[in-house]
Amino acid sequence: MQNNKTKFDLQGKRILVTGASSGIGEATVRLLGEAGAVVGIHYHQRLKEAQTIKEEILSSGGVAEVFQANLSNAQERDTIIPAFIEKFGGLDGLVNNAGAPQGKHAFPNILKNEWDETFALNIEAPFFLSQQAFTVMQSQAGGKIVNVSSIGVKYGGSAKTIHYAMAKSALETLTVGMAKMGAEFNILVNIVRAGMTDTAFWQDKTKEEIEAREKLIPLKRIGKPQEVAETICFLLSHTYITGQTIAVSGGE
């Protein structure tokens, strides 16, 4: 599915993207398909959407498959990388994109289960998926891992997302550590720190809430999933960047 207009050459690279049935993940797998990658589309509940993305990539001459798992469930989570490798014979890239704050309460009333669920999805899952990927990439003499973080790390989140920002902060620490350990094996690990982006997270917010948040952004607009996806694909195609955090946040 190589597209002559694409900015990236990822022909034949086998790349798994978590949380790929919508938002940043969807934009990423579509762009990877255009760049010639062999794409793994992970989803939790949105089977119809994942299948639609897969069929569109296939119809354009690309290669893609869907993989289902609840990443907060260890038994389910631990099946997707082996399933991907069984299907495609290896793993050249992993994008830990799936993530969101869990729960509706604000600090100081955040519940223990909201904390647990947020950390399970946003740091426990990327840690153990990366651990699996790292082992595979060692045996292949190289690979790329891109972790998607949040601008909330920079500001400590909000009253409703402080636990989410904490989990993403841990993800950034994991990234730096893995980059150091991966260098001798040519495993490159980086962070894309997404700012306010036009995804499902903002769909239940009021117009006033969105406008107030946009005013804090120097570029005065919400970001597009495609803009974050382009940075992810750039890092997946680059050969001399590791251990770095790149913010796609309109100047925040």
User: What CATH number has the domain bearing residue 70?
Assistant: 3.40.50.720
Tell me which residue of 184, 30, 160 sits closest to 97, measured CA to CA.
30
Confidence of residue 201 (pLDDT cuts 50, 70, 90): confident
95 found inside a domain: yes
Instruction: Taking residues 210-238, report their average pLDDT.
Output: 93
Contact 152, 247 (CB under 8 A): no
Both tokens of 77, joined, read: 């989570």
211 found inside a domain: no
- Radius of gyration from C-alpha coordinates of the chain: 17
The domain total for the chain is 1
124 found inside a domain: yes
Where does 110-229 show beta strands of DSSP type E? Answer: 143-150, 187-194
| Rounded distance between C-alpha atoms, residue 16 and residue 28, angstroms | 10
Q: What confidence score (pLDDT) does residue 215 get?
A: 87
207 found inside a domain: no
Query: Where do we find the tokens 């893609």?
Result: 64
Both tokens of 59, joined, read: 């119809």
Range of the domain at 238: 14-195+226-248
Summarize the chain as % helix, strand, coil (round to 5): 50, 15, 35
| Rounded distance between C-alpha atoms, residue 96 and residue 149, angstroms | 9
- 149, with CB counted inside 10 A (0-12, 13-18, 19+), is buried
Q: Name the residues annotated as catalytic.
A: 164
Has residue 233 got a pLDDT over 50? yes
50 found inside a domain: yes
213 found inside a domain: no
Has residue 1 got a pLDDT over 50? no
Q: What confidence score (pLDDT) does residue 135 get?
A: 97
Instruction: Taking residues 144-155, report their average pLDDT.
Output: 96
221 found inside a domain: no
